[in-house]
Chain A
Amino acid sequence: MNLQEYIELVFTDYTLRTITLGTAVLGAICGMLGSFAVLRKQSLLGDAISHAALPGIAIAFLIIGTKNSSIFLLGALISGLIGTFWIRGITKNTHLKSDTALGLILSLFFGFGMLLLTYIQKMPNANQAGLESYLFGQAATLLESDVWLMVIVTSISLVILLLFWKELKILLFDADYTKTLGFNTRFLDILITSFIVIAIVLGLQTVGVVLMSAMLLAPAAAARQWTNSLSIMVILAAIFGALSGVVGTAISASHNNLSTGPVIVLVAGVFVLFSFIFSPGRGLLFREIRFRKNRNDLQLHKTLSFMYNIAKTHEDIAHPHTIKILNNFQGFTRKSLQKLEDKDYVTIQGNMWSMTKSGYHTAANLYDQLTKENNE
């Protein structure tokens, strides 16, 4: 199947269209809210919440007795919120650290959820099939109504985000200052945490409990590398998330036996990897290039000042010296010498070098400039 055929299929095939739309919207909302999670250093909260949602789904099923994804979402939301607030209670009231609290809630809630799930499986009830899909996610079970739900929640959270944009932004970067300004930080905190929980719960059906945290983190972590501005980061993260959803769905649809959730996560992972390496400001590649350039500049300066110290002792600064005497000096390389000559700081004749006037002048002012800059 080539690309054009696939795109045609997306527009004609109901299931594929639903899944593509669903994963795209999900990726966008996760990226958007995930940015806040990453910046608030709550990255793993997503992991804990998605696991903590499981007992809620099971209890919802036990109560209503049939499969109904919006009731399940409600149950997941409630137990996710309980988990979140318990985590905050543990870190606030005891000396247990946040990592322990997260791990505790994650595993204990999940274990309880598993107990309920296995209990449900033994019940003589034909409707139980499908609960397992929340574990690893099954994008194929997405219905159009699910997508509509996602769209509605996304737009509501977008509106809320825009309404409280200024407050949330200041809360992210300086919580104490926000409090002194008189904002209700507790309310803002609960607001943003609740929306993160909602995003996670929405994604459970598609990518599953285990992989949900990556859905939340990866687009935001990738977007963080390209910008220092919150608004651009949120938009970028939403785009990255939506793209991973679409591309992941496309890859998994065009192969047999490839579940959508893991593929989406891996695509998002590729975005992260690409951003880590190639982002111009923070990326590893450009950072390495900058390091090298700085190191070379430093060596150049060292060599130049060494030459200057020799030339200083002579009346005629252009007095030639052998290159050999540079050898016991570490900063000297043939390349840096070549560079110095290119800059017209020294002239080289055979194996002798001599300083030019401009070189002497630059070297004399090398450290002056540094101290001048420092004084300013």
Chain B
Amino acid sequence: MSNAQIEIQLIASLVAIACAIPGTFLVLRKMALITDAISHSILPGIVIGFFITHDLSSPLLIIMAAASGVLTVVLVEFIQKTGLVKEDTAIGLVFPALFSIGIILIAKNANDVHLDIDAVLLGELAFAPFDRLILGGMDIGPKSLWIIGTILLITLGLLVTFFKELKVSTFDAGLASALGLSPVVMHYGLMTVSSITTVGAFDAVGAILVIALMIAPAATAYLLTNDLKKMLLLAILFGVGSAISGYWVAHGLDASISGSMTTVLGLLFLLVYLFAPNKGLFSVLYRQKRQRIEVSLLTFLLHLGNHSDDETERHVKHLNEHINWQKVKARSVLDLALKNNMIIIDNDIVFLTQKGKIFTSEAIDYIITNKNSEIENMKDRFFLFRG
């Protein structure tokens, strides 16, 4: 590995970490799309900053860009507060307008601006190591490494200092404000950090892929855990992992680094989405199927209980047509009930056992009182085999 390659991977990893931290909170606060808005609408800020300084690497650009990011949030909230349109419409109206202004500003001054829209949106990580920061005649590394490193340090510092406050205000905004934590300060603090991170990251990975790095690792982690600290760690891990492997994919294909980083993130998300232990697609579908059968079982037991004095109602053949189930389903429900000792079949007549009776009455109690956690506990107590 050459020096430049190591530097690129280092920058990519730092960007991934810096994005994963605010991203986790944005996903939890259901504000993931605001990153989409911010990453587009920083464009006019950058362009105006460039007109003032005529220097693409001036810190004023970052400040202007972050300011226009915050401006987006304020505008979205203002429009939303008027009640004329819903929040998502407000987001969808604000950022294309700001982005258009940015593009027009660039296009109108195309002759004396060396600012490429493609570069703003897509970034080019491969060139990052060539833009060196020279301090007192000494080369101390790529400029973007220093920028994103500083942003990461600030983000980490804020995270450690305000972790408790962030946690409370994310999960229980009412409690947070009752405890004296201003939700407004938290909200705008998070928004400012997100804007600055977006700005810092955009010249490495481009504006669109910042969204991917913010949302995808956090969403993937959220499918695997419900613990905030674990989620943060997992998100960082996923971000860094896909940053580094994405780099090598791009190296192999000779294609855009940020594009392949996102693709790796996408594949990772797809895997977790399908196979996550409790919340993945397959386990959700499996659980739904199991619950369907168990509900049928309960209906069946209720039917038996209601007709405890009428043998014709409890004949195996009769059940088939009476509850209107297909043969396979009736078979599997009957089997499940038998396996769990809830019924006995004597001479093709179905009898409810004592256990079946208790289960039915407790299940009815549950349905009437409807306390969420109880049914799973109850099923654990009664079922020897699950559906």
The 8 Å CB contact of A44, one of B85, B88, B104, B216, is B88
Give per-residue flags for B203-217: 1 if the beta carbon is below 8 A from chain A beta carbons, else 0.
000001101101110
Please indicate the chain B residues that have their CB under 8 angstroms from the CB of A282 in the complex: 84
Residue B6 at the chain A interface, CB threshold 8 Å: no
Closest to B107 in A: A257
Chain B contacts for A327, CB-based, 8 A: none
Once the chains bind, are B96 and A210 in contact (CB under 8 Å)?
Answer: yes
Q: DSSP majority for the B interface?
A: helix
- A112 to chain B: which residues have CB within 8 Å? 259, 262-263, 266
The 0/1 profile, CB within 8 Å of A marked 1, for residues 86-97 of chain B is 101101110011
Return chain A residues, CB-CB under 8 Å to B214. Answer: 103
Measured between beta carbons, the chain B residues less than 8 angstroms from A210 are 40, 96, 99, 121
Q: In whole angstroms, what is the CA distance A117 to B269 when docked?
A: 22
Q: Check if A372 is an interface residue, CB within 8 A of chain B.
A: no
Tell me the residues in window 89-143 of chain B with beta carbons closer than 8 Å to chain A beta carbons: 89, 91-93, 96-97, 99-101, 103-104, 107-108, 110, 117-118, 121-122
Binary A-proximity of B64-101 (CB < 8 A = 1, otherwise 0): 00000000000000010010111011011100110111
Beta-carbon contacts of A94-115 to B below 8 Å, as 1s and 0s? Answer: 1111011011101111111111
A107/B215 contact (C-beta < 8 A), A41-B88, A94-B284, A115-B255 known: yes
Kindly state whether residue B279 has any CB partner on chain A within 8 Å: yes
Complex CA–CA separation, A46 to B93 (angstroms): 12
Q: For chain A residues 216-231, which have a beta carbon within 8 Å of chain B? A: 216-218, 221, 224-225
- Contacts A210-B99, A258-B104 given; indicate if A94 touches B30 (C-beta within 8 A): no
Cβ proximity bits B276-288 to A, threshold 8 Å, 1 near / 0 not: 0001110011000
In the assembled complex, the Cα of A272 lies from the Cα of B36 at a distance in Å of 21
Asked whether B265 is an interface residue with its Cβ less than 8 Å from the other chain, the reply is yes
Least CB distance, A23 to chain B, in whole angstroms? 14
Whole-angstrom distance between the alpha carbons of A145 and B84 in the complex? 39
Contact between B209 and A96, CB atoms less than 8 A apart: no
Number of interface residues of B (CB under 8 A): 63
Residues B170-226 near A (CB distance < 8 A): 208-209, 211-212, 214-216, 218-219, 222-223
Interface 1/0 per residue, A36-47 and B, CB below 8 Å: 001001111011
Is there contact, CB below 8 Å, between B222 and A96?
A: yes
Q: How far is the CA of A123 from the CA of B260 in the complex (A)?
A: 17
Check: B237 CB closer than 8 A to any chain A CB.
no
B258 at the interface (CB under 8 A from A): yes
In the assembled complex, the CB of B287 is this many whole angstroms from the nearest CB of chain A, namely 10
B256 contacts A118, C-beta separation under 8 Å: yes
Question: Given known contacts A118-B256, A122-B254, is B107 in contact with A214 (CB within 8 Å)?
Answer: no
**Chain A residues near B104 (CB-CB < 8 A):** 258-259, 262-263, 266
**Bound complex: CA A93 to CA B266 (Å):** 18
A265 adjacent to B209 (CB under 8 Å): no
Q: In the docked arrangement, what's the CA distance between A103 and B31, Å?
A: 10
Question: Is A119 interfacial (CB 8 A cutoff)?
Answer: yes
Say if the beta carbon of A249 comes within 8 Å of chain B: no
Q: Is A269 an interface residue (CB 8 A)?
A: yes
Q: Are B209 and A111 in contact (CB under 8 A)?
A: yes
Give CA–CA (A44, B87) in the complex, Å: 10
Q: How far is the CB of A139 from chain B (nearest CB, A)?
A: 13
Interface residue ranges of A116-136 to B (CB < 8 Å): 116-119, 122, 132, 135-136
Partner of B85, one of A46, A119, A224, A265: A224
**What residues of A have a CB within 8 angstroms of the CB of B382 in the complex?**
none
CA distance A135 to B122 in the complex (A): 11
Q: Is the CB of B284 within 8 A of A111?
A: no
A211 contacts the other chain (Cβ, under 8 Å)? Answer: yes
- Contacts known (A111-B212, A111-B265, A263-B104); A221 close to B259, Cβ less than 8 A: no
Interface string of A47-84 (1 = CB under 8 A from B): 10001000000000000000000000000000000000
Chain A nearest CB: distance from B235 CB in Å?
12
Beta-carbon contacts of A263-288 to B below 8 Å, as 1s and 0s?
A: 10110010010001000001010000
Closest CB in chain A relative to B217 CB, distance in Å: 10
A40 to B255, CA, bound (A): 39
Is A90 an interface residue when CB atoms closer than 8 A count as contact? Answer: yes
A102 touches B93 (CB 8 A): no
**Assembly CA distance A119 to B218 (angstroms):** 28
CB < 8 Å neighbour of B284 from A42, A93, A218 = A93
A104 and B215 form a contact (CB under 8 A): yes
Complex Cα gap A112–B121 (Å): 14
A157 within 8 Å of B (CB atoms): no
Residues of the B chain whose Cβ atoms lie less than 8 Å from the Cβ of A217: 89, 92-93
- B253 at the A interface (CB under 8 A): yes
Contact partner, A259, options B84, B103, B284, Cβ 8 Å: B103
* Contact of A107 with B209 in the complex, beta carbons under 8 Å: yes
B300 is an interface residue with CB less than 8 A from chain A: no
Contact present for B211 and A106 (CB under 8 Å): yes
B344: A residues at CB distance < 8 A:
none
A287's closest neighbor in chain B, by CB?
Answer: B82
Q: How far is the CA of A104 from the CA of B217 in the complex (A)?
A: 10
Q: Are A99 and B30 in contact (CB under 8 A)?
A: yes
| Distance, CA A242 to CA B36, complexed state (A) | 27
A257 to B273, CA, bound (A): 45
Q: Which of B32, B79, B82, B211 has the most CB of A within 10 A?
A: B32
CB distance from A227 to the nearest CB of B (A): 13
Contacts of A111 in B (CB 8 A): 208-209, 212, 258-259, 261-263, 265-266
- Of B121, B216, B255, most A-chain CB atoms within 10 Å: B255
Chain B residues closer than 8 Å to A284, beta-carbon distance: 82, 84
Find B30's partner among A38, A51, A97, A276 (CB 8 Å cutoff): A97
Chain A residues near B117 (CB-CB < 8 A): 136
The chain B residue sitting closest to A44, CB to CB, is B88
A-B CB proximity, top 3 nearest = A111-B262, A115-B259, A214-B96
Contacts A/B (CB < 8 Å), 21 sampled: A94-B281, A96-B27, A100-B218, A103-B214, A103-B215, A104-B216, A107-B215, A108-B216, A115-B250, A115-B256, A118-B255, A213-B92, A214-B93, A214-B96, A214-B97, A257-B108, A257-B110, A262-B103, A269-B96, A269-B100, A282-B84
Interface residues of B (CB under 8 A from A): 27, 30-33, 35-36, 40, 79, 82, 84-86, 88-89, 91-93, 96-97, 99-101, 103-104, 107-108, 110, 117-118, 121-122, 208-209, 211-212, 214-216, 218-219, 222-223, 250, 253-256, 258-263, 265-266, 269, 273, 279-281, 284-285
Q: Which residues of A line the B interface, CB within 8 A?
A: 38, 41-44, 46-47, 51, 89-90, 93-97, 99-100, 102-104, 106-119, 122, 132, 135-136, 210-211, 213-214, 216-218, 221, 224-225, 257-259, 261-263, 265-266, 269, 272, 276, 282, 284
